[in-house]
Amino acid sequence: MITAKSQVSDVPGPIGIFDSGYGGLTILKGIRELMPEYDYLYLGDNARTPYGTRSFQVVYEYTLECVQKLFQMGCHLVILACNTASAKALRTIQQRDLPEIDPNRRVLGIIRPTAEIVGEVTKTRHIGILATPGTIRSLSYPLEIKKLYPDIEVKGEACPIWVPLVETGEFNSDGADFFIKQHVENLLAKDSQIDTIVLGCTHYPLLIEKIRKFVPDNIRIIEQGKYVASSLQAYLGRHDIADRCTRGGTCRYLTTESAETFHQTASIFLNEKITAQTVTL
Ligand code: DGL
């Protein structure tokens, strides 16, 4: 259900950061390192994670509900810190829903800023994407990359089990190695000239130590956090939405699941103690 403009406030508020679960924390971290002065409100839809194996319609509906929640909680700008949501929901929300909810609010994704960087990094012009089945099936990465760099060859590999490994806290287990090796090798077997691998899912930086074990040293691995952060900084510099984002240096966390579990797990990922609040959508 679309929130009417009258239900959202015009008072400036925090920047909303949304993910299906914990993965968006890797993006939040990059953004806060670069721009600690802003206020942030993180929402993880842990009750309904993972999104990566769900249909377009379901990912769109879930994402829209979460964006509306962040608007209702005072955000004027929301970042979909989730590739799956960026791939499957961003365009419809921007083009169809925002004009109705409030044309002055903004929702941004993270695929475009990532696509922009690969052309500057690859030398062989062959790159690989590791992502959820939803992101791979959507073809969002090859499409965005080809728009900017038509000469780049893009191969993708869907890794359906990687998000559950993170969300269940099994990402450091010996069993995780099997699934990580399998998908890295599958990707590299698709194109021997790949010199750059994009972690096209915000959960994957949490697996980076294990991923590195199976990726040859001459291949560069791109984590999105810092690129999304610098792209957002440039965006805020160009647009007056920055005036509607408050600068108090705070960060609050919301989850659709148990707050207790969220703050325990998120504290490990962020290396700092945090508290979370459960919200209903
Ligand atoms: N972290 C999300 C992404 O970047 C996906 C996680 C999920 O499958 O829910 O794609």
Residue 3 has pLDDT above 60, yes or no: no
Ligand 1, atom 8: nearest CA belongs to which residue? 52
| pLDDT above 80 for 19 | yes
What's the pLDDT score for residue 170?
85
- Long-range CB contact pairs, 87-95, < 8 A, 24+: 87/111, 87/134, 87/135, 87/138, 87/140, 88/51, 88/56, 88/59, 88/60, 88/63, 88/134, 88/138, 89/59, 89/60, 89/63, 89/64, 92/60, 93/60, 93/63, 93/64, 93/67
Q: What pLDDT, on the 0 to 100 scale, is given for residue 222?
A: 96
Q: From 45, 84, 256, give the residue whose CB has the most ligand 1 atoms within 8 Å, as the site to mutate.
A: 84
Average pLDDT over residues 254-276: 89
pLDDT digits (tens, 9 = 90+) for 174-184: 899 999 999 99
Contact between 256 and 281 (Cβ < 8 Å) = yes
* pLDDT for res 219: 98
pLDDT class of 78 with cuts at 50, 70, 90 = very high
Percent of the chain residues topping a pLDDT of 90? 86
Q: Is the CB of 203 under 6 A from ligand 1?
A: yes
**Are 252 and 229 contacting, i.e. CB atoms less than 8 angstroms apart?**
no
Q: Quick check: bond before 50 cis, omega within 30?
A: yes
DSSP the chain: -PPPGGGS--S-BPEEEEESSSTHHHHHHHHHHH-TTS-EEEEE-TTT---TTS-HHHHHHHHHHHHHHHHHTT-SEEEE--HHHHHHTHHHIIIIIHHHH-TT-EEE-SHHHHHHHHHHH-SSSEEEEEE-HHHHHHTHHHHHHHHH-TT-EEEEEE-TTHHHHHHTT-TTSHHHHHHHHHHHHHHHHH-TT--EEEE-STTGGGGHHHHHHHS-TTSEEE-SHHHHHHHHHHHHHHSGGGGGB--S--EEEEESS-HHHHHHHHHHHHTS---EEE---
Model confidence at 1: pLDDT above 60: no
Residues 44-73 have pLDDT tens digits of: 999 999 998 899 999 999 999 999 999 999
| pLDDT score recorded for residue 89 | 97
The verdict on the CB of residue 132 being under 6 Å from ligand 1 is yes
Pocket test of ligand 1: the residue of 83, 90, 227 to mutate, having most ligand atoms within 8 Å of its CB, is 83
Q: Are 45 and 73 in contact (CB under 8 A)?
A: no
Q: Express each pLDDT in 128-187 by its tens digit.
A: 999 999 999 999 999 999 999 999 999 999 999 999 898 888 888 889 999 999 999 999
Catalytic residue annotation? 82, 201
192-251 residue pLDDT tens: 999 999 999 999 998 999 999 999 999 999 999 999 999 999 999 999 999 999 999 999
Q: Is residue 83 in contact with ligand 1, taking CB distance under 6 Å?
A: yes
For the full predicted model, state whether its pTM sits above 0.95.
no
Residue 6 has pLDDT above 50, yes or no: no
